[in-house]
Amino acid sequence: MPLPPLQASQTAAQSLAQARKNREPRTPPIQRDTETSHKPKAAELADPVAYQRFETRQNAQVLPPFARAAATRRHCARCAGIAPEDIAKAEEKLRRIEEMRTKQLAEHPELAR
């Protein structure tokens, strides 16, 4: 669907404000996670060791997509001309995320599946 033209008396900022206020009709709906597998079971809540395993599984699911998104943003930042010191901060965060993932896999090899 092509973008509607701006009204002659409307700036881009005004158009953006209007879209935020009135919702952009072309925006896809937000999809919520309907699975309850991300919640700990009662037995996991009662046992600290089981709960730690639950947390490890949760982190294993969250970290890889986060690292991929961070890598994509790093590439986009370079293309957009972001300041090198800001890119360096992002790269350090990405390095630490990847380090956490490596540590998790070393401690819990079953998460590599």
- pLDDT value, residue 11: 80
Assign 43 a pLDDT band (cuts: 50, 70, 90): very high
Distance from C-alpha of 113 to C-alpha of 74, rounded to nearest angstrom:
27
According to DSSP, residue 38 is labeled: T
For 106, how many CA atoms within 13 A lie in the half-sphere containing its CB?
A: 6
pTM of the full predicted structure? 0.40
Give residue limits of the domains in the chain. Answer: 45-113
